[in-house]
Structure formats: C-alpha cells, structure tokens
Amino acid sequence: MRLLIRLRARADAAYDNSHFHELRGRLWKGLRGTEYDDLHDADRPIGLSFSNIFPWGDIEEGDERTVLVAATDQDVLRAIAESVITDREFNVGQMPFHVEEVTTVAPDVGEPGTRGTLETGTGVLVRIPPQQADAYGIDTDGDEAIFWQPEHSLEPLKTQLENNLDKKHRLFCDDHLPGPSNRDGDLFDEYDLLKTFAVPVEVTQGVEMTYILSKWRFGYRVRDDHHRRHLNLALDAGIGERNALGLGFLNIQRDSKRPPGTPEASSASTDGGRR
Amino acid sequence: MTETVDNRSEIVFVTDAQDCNPNGNPLGENRPRKDPITDQAVVTDVRLKRYLRDQLHADGHGVFIKKTGDESEVRARLALDVLGDITDADEVAEIENVRDEFLDAATDVRYFGATLSFNADTDNDLLDAVADAFDGGNYTGPVQFSPARSLNAVEENEESNTLTSVIATQDDKSTGGFDLDDNRLKYAIFPFHGLVDENGASDTELTAADVKRLDTLCWRAMKNQTISRSKVGQEPRLYARVEYATDGYHVGDLHNGFDRDPDYSKPESELRNVTDFTLDVTKFVDRLASASDHVETVHVVGDEYLDMSYDGERYGTAADLADLLESQGVPTTTIDVYAEFEETLPAGE
C-alpha cells in the first residue's frame, strides 16, 4: 500500500536532483516520537520506500507535484499521513510545497497469469559481497562491497535482488509463507537495464557516499499466489538496498498490466515516480 | 438464451480475515460487525456479493448494481448502462424484449436478482423510456448467500486515534479518500452458506455456465477484490459446491458442519493467522456421506495452509478435502481455479 501525496509549490524553485535526503527527512518527521521512531536507525530493511518528487523539472509557484510513499505496514503510512495532514508545510531542501491532498493507493501486480512491467522510479542499489566476487569472476582488491555494474552480468544482480527480497519477506510476511528463494523461477521474466549512474548519497547526517545505481524495467508474468505476494512486497518495500533512503522504489508501468486472456498491450507510458 | 440450470447446488465458502476489517458497520463508526454476546464477527451477504459483483465487472461482464446507491433514476441509468450503446428513447422502444436483453447483459442480476423500481418521471426522456420499457417488477435471485458468523470469538486491535478523526479536525481543504482502517480484527474465519435454487433460475435465466463460473469467481473475488486498503488480509480458504442429482433436494445449512477444532487450534484469544486454526470438517463430511446418493458431485478447492481434522484426527489441509470426501463415498471434482477461470470470461462464452 502507498500514500499519494499531492503537493502545490509555494514558490519558484530549481529542481534539486539530489533531494532525496531532504525528502526522507520530511517523511521521517512524521515518525518522530511514534513507536516507529526506532526504524530510523534500524540496520535492516524497514519496509518503507518512496518516490522522488515528480514530475521532474524546474518548479513554478502553484505547480502541482506528487510524491508516493509505500510501506508494508499501513500503520507506518498512517503515522506519515497524520504528519503531513497536520503540518501541511512540505519543504524539501530549497523546494517549498504545501500538501494539498493525501490519498491511499494499493497497486497489485495482478492474479496468476497476469503479465506486466515494473519499473524503477528511483535508482536501485545492489552490492555484491566481496566474498562472492570470485564466484562471479569479479576482480576485487579489497573488503568493500562491489556496486553492481553491467559488466558483472545479470546473475549476481538477480541473486542479490532475490536474497534482499527474501530478507524482507522474512521480516514482513507470515512465517508459514515461502519466500522468493523457496520457490522455483526468477522474480522477473525480463531485466531491461535503462542506465547506470553514480550519485552522491548522504547515508547519515554529514556522511556522504557515492553509490552506483541502476534503473530498470522488469517484465513479469505472475506464476501463482506466492509470486504475486513477492512482487507486491517489492512494490511496498522497494527493491534492492537502502530503500529507506529513497532507492529502489517500484511502480507498475502504466497500461502494462495484461490480465490472463487479454492480448498484448499497446505502448506503455510511465505512471510517475521516476528519479 | 441458453437453457437455465437444472441441478440445485449448495455452496460453502470459508474465508478468513487477518488484521483487517472484513465488514465495517457504517452505523457503528465502521467498527467490524460483531455479535456482542458471543463476540463472533459477522460478514454480511451484501459484502460478499459486492466482491463478486466487483470481480464480474473487472472480468468484463455486464453488472447492474455497480454502486450501493438506490435512487430510482440511478437505477434507470444503471439499466441503460447495462443495455449498451443506446442514446435516445426511440432506440429503447426498438428493443424487442427489454427484459431478455437486460438479463443477457446483467450477469449479476442472473445470480442475485434486482429490484426494478424506477422513478416514473425523471425529467429525462431516455431514462423515462427505460423505466416504461421495464414497467417495474423484481427479479428474484436464484443464488442466495447468508451472512457468515465467524467460527471463533474475535478480538480487535487496540487503536484509538484514528486517521479519520485527524482529518475531521482539519479546517481547511478536505483530504478525503483515506481508507486506512483502524478497526481491525486480529483473526476471524467465516463459513458462508449459499444456495443455487434451480426452481428460481428461470426467473433470471441463470444458466449452468453461470453456476460453474461461481466455482472460480468466489475464489478470485476474495483474492482480487480484497487486495486494496482496509480489506487486505482476507483469503479464500475452502470452497465447496455440492451439486445435487435429486430434484428439489439439498442437505441444508452445510456451513454448520464446520467447527473450530479445540484440540488442534490455539485458544481463541491467541488466534493470529490461519496456521493457528484447525477446521473440524467431521459433521460436514458425514452429512454429505449420508446423502451421497443425492449428490451428483462436490466441486472443491481448498487452501494448503488451513489445517483440517476429521473424526478427532488431523487430516491434512483444506486442499485435501476432495480426497477425504472421496474416501467417504462422496463423488468430487477438484477445481483448478487458474486453469479454469478463463473459460468463464465474456470472450470465452
């Protein structure tokens, strides 16, 4: 489930491409003092991800923008919603907004047999543990995790994404239900890499790191109810690492969903939330 | 029009709700419906039929009751919507038999019936023509479901400061559209009961194909129509449609054949998800076994996570119900929901 927060610009502003730390700060403001405050420093996935402010582009006073916040726990969303409704000032760095409207949306990849495409609204962080570098034939000269890049091939990326989602499944789904690695088949049928890019990320106050991220379109066909749950979990919790920083936010590509028995969809366009 | 269904069917449909509000009462601050004496939760037949109608609509079938509003003009407009691409009163008059056309298109009316009480004068010629064409009257639905009472006494999550109340205190722009429900049950499991009355089928032209569609529709509706917002957390666990061979015969109240097995279930206050519960199917199976001469077949689908017990012993999961019934001499047919449902879609008819 996710919140759709409609914003109205209170002043002209240049679009700040590296605003996700400030956006994260604004969203976390809603969790401060609640039972979810501890999640801020949790050393594990917390089941929260969010889009950038979209659409991208310089902002004029009165412009409408949107931000999406997804979570596995609707009580976390409730806390954030209460915060942005109670205090409608929504300032993200040098971009001042007012919260106009907050609604909930619940995207679903569809029942078994449904085909569709997920796309990353924000860059995906995948790191390969150094001890596994040899197994993938990756040269490494230290103990640091290796940021995935295209020359590493798809295999380590698929494995890391699945392992990461496994961890989220253990944290946020009922114990009796099998996680992605307990089931046959890949998460996605198609891995369409759009680009890789390096970006400075303020991981904690005053600590900045350069991450290598990638953007994707993932084609899927829902195999069964378990696969449906896994993909919907990725929509709620984000994919890859550091989702609470605003990385790995997923959307269902608009018009891409094709229920069983329906013909191929025509050209698809995005439903926003892209970084 | 295809021939109407011949055989009577009796349906039991077990669903559960985990950490959600399966059926809020708008007259009671949307709190889950509950029997205050027994603490059993209640889900109305209206709620179940809403899911089924929504799934029919999602599948592309014509649906008459799209919303809960019952204004006469709205109903005429809904009827017009079902009838298709009609733009003026003359086209309504040209329809040879408006009732047949309507029933052919309005799938939900074939199942559940409808009241056709249109306002005679809506100041809209087209809507008035629709009202005149039908000339009032009702369709009595041959498929009747009953409200379900949970097999366990339920507990509610303890939340007080609801988001609704926060919104209500805002004095500027409204922020509607929320459906983050604070009034949630920890766990409840519901046995619905339904009857397909072949004698009433002719009134709405309910066909055998319509009845077969229920075998996948109920399951898919509970999967697909509960995935959003406050309804998330509900699952179908067991569906059985007993198709009878003997005219006018049915066992009746088969849902009363299900119980919580206290020996294999956690105490009611500790129930949190399906793995804490064991469904005792002894009475259900025995009643069908004693009536097996009247049974054409039992169409069954069950969930692999709902444990069952029979005659005091564990007997696999709900997915094994067909085997259990067969072992007691009851003929069964296993439903493969996702292999079969495409045949029930409009394009496949």
- Judging contacts by C-beta atoms under 8 Å, the chain B residues touching residue A81 are 163, 178, 180
Burial category of B296 from C-beta neighbours within 10 Å (exposed 0-12, middle 13-18, buried 19 and up): middle
| pLDDT tens, position by position, B174-201 | 444 455 556 889 999 999 999 999 998 9
Q: Are A240 and A196 in contact (CB under 8 A)?
A: no
- Judging contacts by C-beta atoms under 8 Å, the chain A residues touching residue B274 are 176
> Does residue A74 sit at the B interface (CB-CB below 8 Å)?
yes
What does the pLDDT read at residue B122? 67
From CA B259, how far away is CA B278, in angstroms rounded? 9
What does the pLDDT read at residue B24? 87
Nearest to A214 by CA among A234, A188, A191: A191
B100 confidence band (pLDDT: 50, 70, 90): confident
More confident residue, B133 or A168: A168
Q: Is the peptide bond before A55 cis (omega within 30 degrees of 0)?
A: yes
- Please tell me which of the candidates B166, B173, B179 has its beta carbon nearest to residue A104: B179
From CA A234, how far away is CA A188, in angstroms rounded? 11
| pLDDT tens, position by position, B110-150 | 999 988 777 666 677 787 777 777 776 788 999 999 999 99
| B347 to A261: CB separation less than 8 angstroms, yes or no | yes
Residue A204 has pLDDT above 80, yes or no: no
CA distance to partner chain B, nearest, from residue A83 (Å): 10
> Does residue A23 sit at the B interface (CB-CB below 8 Å)?
no
What does the pLDDT read at residue B115? 82
> Does residue A255 sit at the B interface (CB-CB below 8 Å)?
no
Give the dihedral sign, CA A188/A273/B60/B139: positive
What does the pLDDT read at residue B65? 82
A252 confidence band (pLDDT: 50, 70, 90): very high
| A1 to B348: CB separation less than 8 angstroms, yes or no | no
- Please tell me which of the candidates A88, A106, A111 has its beta carbon nearest to residue B229: A106
- Please tell me which of the candidates A86, A106, A112 has its beta carbon nearest to residue B166: A86
From CA A270, how far away is CA A55, in angstroms rounded? 11
Which residues of A are known catalytic residues?
41
| Coil/strand/helix, residue B113 | strand
| Substitution target from A7, A89, A111 for chain B, most B beta carbons within 10 A | A111
Looking at every residue in chain A, the average pLDDT score rounds to: 89
Shortest CA distance from B303: residue in chain A: A225
Looking at every residue in chain B, the average pLDDT score rounds to: 87
Q: How far is CA B12 from the centre of its chain?
A: 10
Cα atoms in the Cβ-side hemisphere of radius 13 Å centred on B20 = 22
A67-76, A213-222, B166-175: which range is least confident on average? B166-175
Q: Are B131 and B73 in contact (CB under 8 A)?
A: no
What's the predicted TM-score (pTM) here?
0.89
Shortest CA distance from B178: residue in chain A: A103
What does the pLDDT read at residue A74? 85
More confident residue, B40 or A265: B40
- Judging contacts by C-beta atoms under 8 Å, the chain B residues touching residue A112 are 338
ipTM > 0.90, yes or no: no
- Please tell me which of the candidates A106, A111, A261 has its beta carbon nearest to residue B220: A111
B interface toward A at CB cutoff 8 Å?
Answer: 163, 166-167, 170, 172-173, 175-180, 182, 220, 223-224, 227-229, 232, 273-275, 305, 338, 341-342, 345, 347-348
- Judging contacts by C-beta atoms under 8 Å, the chain A residues touching residue B175 are 85, 101-103
| B275 to A106: CB separation less than 8 angstroms, yes or no | no
Q: CB neighbours (10 Å) of residue A204?
A: 11
Q: CB neighbours (10 Å) of residue A132?
A: 15
Q: pLDDT exceeding 70 applies to what percent of chain B?
A: 86
In which element (H, E) is residue A235 found? helix A225-237
From CA B210, how far away is CA B191, in angstroms rounded? 22
More confident residue, A201 or A22: A22
What does the pLDDT read at residue B159? 58
Give the dihedral sign, CA A165/A110/B332/B255: positive
From CA A94, how far away is CA A80, in angstroms rounded? 21
Alpha helices in B246-343 (DSSP H): 282-290, 321-327, 337-340
From CA A201, how far away is CA A212, in angstroms rounded? 10
Amino acid identity at B36? P
What does the pLDDT read at residue B172? 44
Tokens read off for B240: 């059985």
A231 confidence band (pLDDT: 50, 70, 90): very high
A121-125, B112-116, B165-169, B196-200: which range is least confident on average? B165-169
In which element (H, E) is residue A3 found? strand A2-9
| pLDDT tens, position by position, B265-305 | 999 999 999 999 999 999 999 999 999 999 999 999 999 99
| Substitution target from B54, B56, B227 for chain A, most A beta carbons within 10 A | B227
Nearest to B250 by CA among B287, B305, B210, B285: B287
